[in-house]
Amino acid sequence: MRERFLWIGISLIVLSTAGNYLFFQSKQLDEPIFLKHYYSQELESQDQEGNIEWTFHYLTNKQNPKTVQSTEVDGITGYPAQDQGITFWEEGEPQINFEQEYNHHYLVPVTIEIPAEQIPMDNDSWSFESMHVTFSDQTDMNTKIGKIGLIDEAVSEDVFESSSASSSNDGEVITTLNVSKPIDVEEISVPFSDEIGDEMAINIGEVNGKKHDISEEGVFPISFQEGESLRIQSQFSPNSSIYVDVEMGIKGETEDGDLFTRGFYVNDQPYFTQKEILDIIAEKAGDTE
Beta-sheet strands, E only, within the chain: 33-34, 36-43, 51-61, 68-73, 76-80, 89-90, 93-94, 100-101, 105-115, 125-135, 140-152, 160-167, 172-179, 183-189, 200-206, 211-213, 222-224, 229-236, 242-254, 259-268
Evaluate the omega torsion of the peptide bond into residue 221 and state whether it is cis, within 30 degrees of 0.
yes
Site for other proteins in 58-77 (CB under 8 A): 62-63
Minimal distance, residue 198 CB to other proteins, in Å: 31
Enumerate the β-bridge partners of residue 213: 203
Minimal distance, residue 17 CB to other proteins, in Å: 5
Residue 79 burial (CB count, 10 A)? 16
Number of residues that bind other proteins (CB under 8 A): 22
Q: Is 270 exposed, middle or buried (0-12, 13-18, 19+ CB in 10 A)?
A: buried
Contact status: 227 vs other proteins (CB under 8 A) = no
Minimal distance, residue 277 CB to other proteins, in Å: 11
Given the complex with other proteins, which of 77 and 100 has the nearer CB atom?
100
Given the complex with other proteins, which of 164 and 273 has the nearer CB atom?
273
Residue of 1, 4, 6, 93 interacting with other proteins (CB under 8 A): 6
Given the complex with other proteins, which of 8 and 285 has the nearer CB atom?
8
Minimal distance, residue 101 CB to other proteins, in Å: 6
Contact status: 10 vs other proteins (CB under 8 A) = yes
Contact status: 21 vs other proteins (CB under 8 A) = yes
Enumerate the β-bridge partners of residue 219: none
Task: Sketch the per residue contact string, 101 through 120, with other proteins: x for CB under 8 A, - otherwise.
Answer: xxxx----------------
Contact status: 94 vs other proteins (CB under 8 A) = no
Answer yes or no: are the C-beta atoms of 179 and 225 closer than 8 Å: yes
Answer yes or no: are the C-beta atoms of 206 and 250 closer than 8 Å: no
Angle at 72 between CA 71 and CA 77, to 5 degrees: 85
Minimal distance, residue 172 CB to other proteins, in Å: 30
CA–CA gap between residue 172 and residue 184 (Å, rounded): 25
Minimal distance, residue 40 CB to other proteins, in Å: 35
Answer yes or no: are the C-beta atoms of 185 and 225 closer than 8 Å: no
Minimal distance, residue 276 CB to other proteins, in Å: 15
Given the complex with other proteins, which of 6 and 155 has the nearer CB atom?
6
Q: How many CA atoms lie within 13 A of 233 on its CB side?
A: 12
CA–CA gap between residue 128 and residue 37 (Å, rounded): 11
Given the complex with other proteins, which of 104 and 262 has the nearer CB atom?
104
CA dihedral (134, 138, 142, 148) in degrees, to 10, reads -10
Minimal distance, residue 30 CB to other proteins, in Å: 17
Contact status: 27 vs other proteins (CB under 8 A) = yes
Given the complex with other proteins, which of 49 and 91 has the nearer CB atom?
91
Residue of 9, 50, 209, 221 interacting with other proteins (CB under 8 A): 9
The residues binding other proteins (CB under 8 A) are 3, 5-6, 9-10, 12-13, 16-17, 19-21, 23-24, 27, 62-63, 91, 101-104
